[in-house]
Amino acid sequence: MGKYIAKRILWLIPIVLGVSFIIFSIMYLKPGNPAQLILGSEATQEAIDQLSEEMGLNEPFFVQYFNYMKGLIRGDLGSSYRNGNSVSAEIAARFPVTLRLAAFSILLVCIIGIPIGIISAIRQYSVIDMVSVVLALVLASMPSFWIGLMLMLLFSVQLQLLPPTGADSWINYILPCLTLAAVNLAVVTRMTRSTMLEVIRQDYVRTARAKGAGEGRVVMKHCLKNGMIPVLTIVAIQFSKLIGGAVLVESVFAMPGLGSLLVTAIRSSDTPLIMGSVIVLAIIFTVINLVIDLLYAVIDPRIRAQFAK
């Protein structure tokens, strides 16, 4: 088990290397000279050349990548082209907002989506099931930012109950979290439902009934644990969508998180900031996936057995 965890953590290294390489390459292809960008349009060619030299922009691609990675290992992601601030510091300042947003949303998704999915499966073709199936289909078809706008329209503009923008208190988080949860809720509910439907039909569930187990016990003890692995997988996948969605939702509700930082960075062609935010987001996502992979082992003895080998 310990060996497996170590192996999985080591796998983080090629992922981070690969991700940073891809992002670095994409950014390298970006037209325009950063030195020009920093100095503004009135700078002389000499000044631009001098700054390019200082920044190492004339070095070959791999040398630049190597230098960047050296910084990354020390936690130094360079400094913003716009204001010269440390990228790491900027990200650290914005990170808590995104983390809160994502964590609350996924929590909301799990505590609402999974029970509804289970009830839908147990009471297949009941009213609850029908409603949840239709709702899931409709919600999954809506763009997250539009759901955000509609919630804003309803709760902030029409009812004037909740603030439309900002991140000053927990009240500001209600609408963004609901928005992010809504889209992902649909997928998790559907997945839970179909997984549970499959599990309920398994022979071992019939065996449990043959032992005299009641409906509640059959679901809680025999179905849940078996159904949780596919559900966890989908939650992990949804988390990636959630991080992507957070970028949009932060824009809608003007929340100062990593996503809006990234958007401003892109708008202002601030390459170090773009790269830093993307790499940090990718690392967060990878770590979450790692945690979920480890959870599989806790749930399923067969997976645990594979690790032991």
Partner 1 sequence: MKRDRQQGLKQGKFSAVWRRMKKNRTAMAGLVILIIIILMAIFADLIGDYNEVATKMDIANRLMAPMKKGLFGTDHYGRDVLARIAHGARVSLIIGFGAVLVSLVFGGAIGATAGFYGGRYDNIVMRCMDIIMAIPSTILALAVVAALGGGIFNLMIAIAVADIPNYARVVRSSVLTIRNADYIEAANAVGAGTAHVLARHIIPNVLGPIIVQCTLGIGSSILNAAGLSYIGLGVQAPRPEWGNMLSEAREFIQSAPHLIIIPGIFLALTVLALNLLGDGLRDALDPRLKD
Partner 2 sequence: MSKIHTILEVKDLRVAYAGSGERVQAVNGLSFGVQEGECLGLVGETGAGKTTVALSVMGLLPERTSRIESGEIIFEGRDLLQCKKKEMQAIRGEKISMIFQDPMTSLNPVLTIGEQILEGLELHNEEKKSREELIARVHEMLELVGIPAARYHEYPHQFSGGMKQRVVIAMALACSPKLLIADEPTTALDVTIQAQVLDMMSQLRERLGMTMILITHDLGIVAEKCDTVATVYAGEIIEFGTVEDIFSGEAHHPYTKGLFDALPSLVSTERRLKSIEGLMPDPTDLPAGCKFHPRCPRCKPICREREPEPVQISQSHMIKCFLYAQGEEEMGSR
Residues interacting with partner 1, by CB under 8 A?
14-15, 18-19, 22-23, 26-27, 29-31, 124, 137-138, 140-146, 149-150, 152-153, 157, 194, 197, 240-241, 243-245, 247-248, 251-252, 262-263, 265-267, 269, 274, 278, 281-282, 285-286, 289
127 binds partner 2, rule: CB under 8 A = no
Q: What is the CA radius of gyration of the chain?
A: 24
222 binds partner 2, rule: CB under 8 A = yes
Residue among 275, 148, 295 at smallest CA distance from 232: 295
3-state secondary structure of 86: strand
150 binds partner 2, rule: CB under 8 A = no
Q: Which is nearer to partner 2, 84 or 212 (CB)?
A: 212
Quickly count helices (H) and strands (E) in the chain: 15, 0
Find out whether 28 and 275 touch, Cβ atoms under 8 Å: no
- Stated as kind and residue range, the H or E segment containing 47 is helix 45-55
216 binds partner 2, rule: CB under 8 A = no
202 binds partner 2, rule: CB under 8 A = yes
Residue among 98, 102, 89 at smallest CA distance from 273: 89
Give the nearest distance from C-beta 115 to partner 1 in angstroms. Answer: 20
Partner whose footprint covers residue 208, from partner 2, partner 1, none (CB < 5 to 8 Å by kind)? partner 2
Q: Which is nearer to partner 2, 12 or 213 (CB)?
A: 213
Residue 309 CB-density burial (10 A; 0-12 exposed, 13-18 middle, 19+ buried): exposed
Partner whose footprint covers residue 290, from partner 1, partner 2, none (CB < 5 to 8 Å by kind)? none
Find out whether 249 and 259 touch, Cβ atoms under 8 Å: yes
Cα–Cα distance, 67 to 224 (Å, whole number): 49
Cα–Cα distance, 183 to 255 (Å, whole number): 19
One character per residue 79-118, x = contact with partner 2 (rule: CB under 8 A): ----------------------------------------
Residues at the site binding partner 2, with contacts judged by CB under 8 A: 124-125, 202-214, 217, 221-222, 225-226, 299-302, 305
